[in-house]
A and B are shown apart, each in its own frame.
Chain A
Amino acid sequence: MSIQLEREYNYAFLDEGSKKEIRRSTLKAVAIPGYQVPFASREMPIGRGWGTGGLQLTLSLIGDEDSLKVIDQGHDDSVNAVSIKRLVESCSNVTTTDDSEHATVIQTRHRVPEIPLRDDQILVLQVPLPEPLRRTEAKEKVTKRLHAEMDYSSIWLRLYEDIVKWKKITIGADYPSMVHHRYIINPSPIPRYDVPKLHQAEGLYLFGAGREKKIYAIPPYTDVEPLEFLDYSFEVENFEHFTCHLCGCTDSFLDEIYDAKTGEKIYQCSDTGYCNTRQREREAL
């Protein structure tokens, strides 16, 4: 399979012209933090909505010396993550890893790894809906004008309505956040728990929406502020009284699962790479 692809496809699947165009859009996105840069999203050998935006970014960024990690909702071994890893392996010489520490490029969906990014790492997030104004405004022409005029009152209004209805902000994922005091972004459907990790981070965050044909970025050391009212502040999920049943971790984002045999509710780390490392460390002790 690998030999066949090597012969029939360009290095890292995309042709050089496409990669150049994506890199140019990426550079523009880095230059204007939070601004959605349109790009000519290519047809990929995976379905739209399965991470084509993230994959195009990854393929245009990786080189022989890179090490790639792909995670899907925190899991290294989910079908989507494994398929993407196999595709990249088969059309490039890039090595893949499950260890966040060793990866130079991490492609992810729905989670940011527990271990903070270093300045030599890039996190590529797959984004289904890049436009934070889309829920209240259907027309692209209008949302562009609203971004240009910094008119985000409809996003704030959504938070207000939430507070009126539920006495708190109930947005669980894709929490609208202000980047560099200018653009409000949808930080892809990561949980609220992960949003503070974007603020003044050392690594580069890239967001790719293949279906919507948009790329945006949060460069290192950029301010990212989740929206909050003066009397209703932003809060992350609280796992204070829960522990991962595998590694005993108390300070990571936990998944709530039911034991198939006992029917008991248990918790385990959402980031499996982080959890495995902790388990190994525990065993070594």
Chain B
Amino acid sequence: MVVTSATYMEEQPMLSVRNLNKRYGQGCKHCETPEMLPVNSNRCSHCGSVWACIDVGMDLYKGEIIGIVGESGSGKSSLVKSLYFDEEIASGTATISDYKGGEADIFSVSAQQKRYIRNYLMGMVYQNPWMGLKMSFSSGGNIAEKLIAAGTYHVGNIRDRASELLNHVEIPISRMDELPENFSGGMQQRVQISKALANNPPVLLLDEVTTGLDLSVQARVLDLIRKIQREFGVGMIVVSHDLGVIRMLADRTMVMRYGRVVEQGLTDQILEDPGHAYTQQLVHSLL
């Protein structure tokens, strides 16, 4: 039983990831399975293939925020991108409990069902807004894309919903028909968040959303994420290399290194009393 500080925790996790493995490269006889690699590396010295995620497991409960921290190349982004089908996994399961009245392993469903999961059950906010937004379409249009994909073919309804979402992320409605490339970095991230929330998904994946933003904008985006979590009860996986962000947002934290989860637990516990040597190093390396 995983302990969580989320007050509205339910017993059944919304998303349960087990033994997730992700490899970049063809692999060779020396790295057929990640167990064949040394503990202090995730790169095969023979063929250069990289196991970005090795045997990763976690449970996400309703309304909970899980933070994933680690250095660059530790597999944080690969994990969330795999969960959003941007990357193909080598093996593993991720069971979502809110799937058409039952539960399903998201990696074993058909391509069309994966599309359903992407549109209805998950939202993704990328580090780089260019990955999450279509810059040649208006910000309202970007939200419309998600709504249309979910079957809304009424322009009036689409615009009402887009206005509501943009209002929520504090973007003036008057700028709804402007291209996101005219927006600042913080505003682009907020448009991305509103796009990700368009169909009220129960799970939101955030990949380094505050990286590259100045401190005041960072604070606004973090406040917004907290507000969304409170109001919508969305379960979130937040990837960041910034322990400050994790401290502010996450109920539980997972520390990754060389594609492996080295430690996970309550955020306060991880940051105040780190057990693993790497976590201790990470916590003490704060400027």
Instruction: Give the interface of A toward B (CB within 8 A).
Output: 136, 145, 148-151, 153-154, 156-157, 160-161, 163-165, 229-232
The one of B111, B137, B158, B177 in contact with A148, judged by C-beta atoms closer than 8 angstroms, is: B111
> Given contacts A229-B153, A230-B155, A231-B155, could you give 16 more A-B pairs where the C-beta distance is less than 8 Å?
A145-B111, A149-B112, A151-B149, A153-B149, A157-B145, A160-B148, A160-B155, A160-B158, A161-B141, A164-B138, A164-B140, A164-B177, A229-B154, A229-B155, A230-B153, A232-B155
Chain A to chain B contacts (Cβ below 8 Å), 27 pairs:
A145-B111, A148-B111, A149-B111, A149-B112, A149-B115, A150-B112, A151-B149, A153-B146, A153-B148, A153-B149, A154-B145, A156-B148, A157-B134, A157-B137, A157-B141, A157-B144, A157-B145, A160-B141, A161-B137, A161-B141, A163-B155, A165-B177, A229-B154, A229-B155, A230-B153, A231-B154, A232-B155
Instruction: Give the interface of B toward A (CB within 8 A).
Output: 111-112, 115, 134, 137-138, 140-141, 144-146, 148-149, 153-156, 158, 177
Bound-state Cα–Cα, A253 to B206, Å: 53
Please judge, given known A-B contacts A149-B115, A153-B148, A157-B148, whether A164 and B153 are in contact too, CB under 8 Å. no
| Least CB separation from A161: chain B residue | B141
Contact partners of A136 in chain B: CB under 8 A: 134
Please judge, given known A-B contacts A157-B141, A164-B177, whether A230 and B148 are in contact too, CB under 8 Å. no
Contact partners of A151 in chain B: CB under 8 A: 115, 149
Contact partners of A150 in chain B: CB under 8 A: 112
Contact partners of B141 in chain A: CB under 8 A: 157, 160-161, 164
For the complex, would chain B's binding face be called helix, strand, loop or mixed by DSSP majority? helix
Contact partners of B149 in chain A: CB under 8 A: 151, 153
Bound-state Cα–Cα, A163 to B155, Å: 8
Bound-state Cα–Cα, A153 to B158, Å: 13
CB distance from A137 to the nearest CB of B (A): 10
Bound-state Cα–Cα, A161 to B149, Å: 15
Contact partners of B138 in chain A: CB under 8 A: 161, 164
Bound-state Cα–Cα, A231 to B155, Å: 7
| Least CB separation from A156: chain B residue | B148
CB distance from B279 to the nearest CB of A (A): 40
Bound-state Cα–Cα, A151 to B112, Å: 9
Contact partners of B153 in chain A: CB under 8 A: 156, 229-230
Bound-state Cα–Cα, A151 to B155, Å: 18
Contact partners of B158 in chain A: CB under 8 A: 160
Instruction: Select the residue from A149, A150, A163, A164 with max chain B CB neighbours within 10 A.
Output: A164
Contact partners of A148 in chain B: CB under 8 A: 111
Bound-state Cα–Cα, A148 to B154, Å: 24
| Least CB separation from A155: chain B residue | B148
Bound-state Cα–Cα, A15 to B73, Å: 57
Bound-state Cα–Cα, A148 to B111, Å: 9
Bound-state Cα–Cα, A156 to B145, Å: 8
Contact partners of B144 in chain A: CB under 8 A: 157, 160
Contact partners of B115 in chain A: CB under 8 A: 149, 151
Contact partners of B177 in chain A: CB under 8 A: 164-165
Bound-state Cα–Cα, A123 to B177, Å: 41
Contact partners of A160 in chain B: CB under 8 A: 141, 144, 148, 155, 158
CB distance from A128 to the nearest CB of B (A): 22
Contact partners of B148 in chain A: CB under 8 A: 153, 156-157, 160
CB distance from B287 to the nearest CB of A (A): 42
Bound-state Cα–Cα, A231 to B140, Å: 17
Bound-state Cα–Cα, A149 to B137, Å: 22
Q: Is the CB of A231 within 8 A of B112?
A: no
Bound-state Cα–Cα, A164 to B177, Å: 7
Contact partners of A153 in chain B: CB under 8 A: 145-146, 148-149
Contact partners of A154 in chain B: CB under 8 A: 134, 145
Q: Is the CB of A231 within 8 A of B156?
A: yes
CB distance from A274 to the nearest CB of B (A): 36
| Least CB separation from B154: chain A residue | A230
Contact partners of A156 in chain B: CB under 8 A: 148, 153
Bound-state Cα–Cα, A161 to B155, Å: 10
Contact partners of B156 in chain A: CB under 8 A: 231
| Least CB separation from B176: chain A residue | A164
| Least CB separation from B140: chain A residue | A164
Contact partners of B112 in chain A: CB under 8 A: 149-150
| Least CB separation from B156: chain A residue | A231
Bound-state Cα–Cα, A165 to B148, Å: 18
CB distance from B49 to the nearest CB of A (A): 23
CB distance from B122 to the nearest CB of A (A): 16
Bound-state Cα–Cα, A149 to B117, Å: 13
Bound-state Cα–Cα, A145 to B134, Å: 18
User: Top 7 closest A-B pairs, CB basis?
Assistant: A153-B149, A230-B154, A153-B148, A156-B148, A229-B155, A160-B144, A153-B145
| Least CB separation from B147: chain A residue | A153
